[in-house]
Amino acid sequence: MILNNNGSKDQAKDVFQEAVMVLYDKVTGQGFVLESKLKTFLYAVSRRLWLKQLGKKSNNHYSIEQDGFEESPDLSEDLQMHEDQERQFEKMESALQVLGEPCQSILTDFYLRNKSMQDICEKFGYTNTDNTKTQKYKCLQRLKKLFFSGNPHGA
């Protein structure tokens, strides 16, 4: 997240270390109950810390206090957003598994590996890129149907 937002590796390490310190403070304090996955909590805290650093750099002052993380409505929203996003990724992964081959590889090659239609055409032995595009479209429609059906284990 930090590297994707013009941060350096050192900044990412510093923010993560701060997030771990916040977690430690919370765990050793009284009344803290972790109500999300650990990585979700660390991500949300890291995100808030990074936004705070960016705010300091641009002279915008965010009103985020280090000792009020779990009470922060923004943090709760961040945690909820991250958990929702994680569920969506898991749902997409399940739908891709059900989709099977060659659709799974075609969509993965095109969208995740940024392979060209020509490369995919050659890999799967299609006669031309138009046929490859048609197959990719059909695969994408099947994936959408599986994903949005609410039951990715079969449509």
The closest of 77, 57, 69, 56 to 18, measured between CA atoms, is 69
Confidence band (pLDDT; 50, 70, 90) for 74?
low
Which one has a higher pLDDT value, 35 or 8? 8
Give pTM, 2 decimals.
0.49
What is the pLDDT averaged over residues 120-139? 94
How far apart are the C-alpha atoms of 58 and 104, rounded to whole Å? 44
Q: Tokens 């898991």 belong to which residue?
A: 90
**What whole-number percentage of the chain has pLDDT above 90?**
25
Q: Locate all alpha helices (DSSP H) within the chain, ordered by sequence.
A: 9-28, 38-57, 73-99, 103-107, 117-124, 129-148
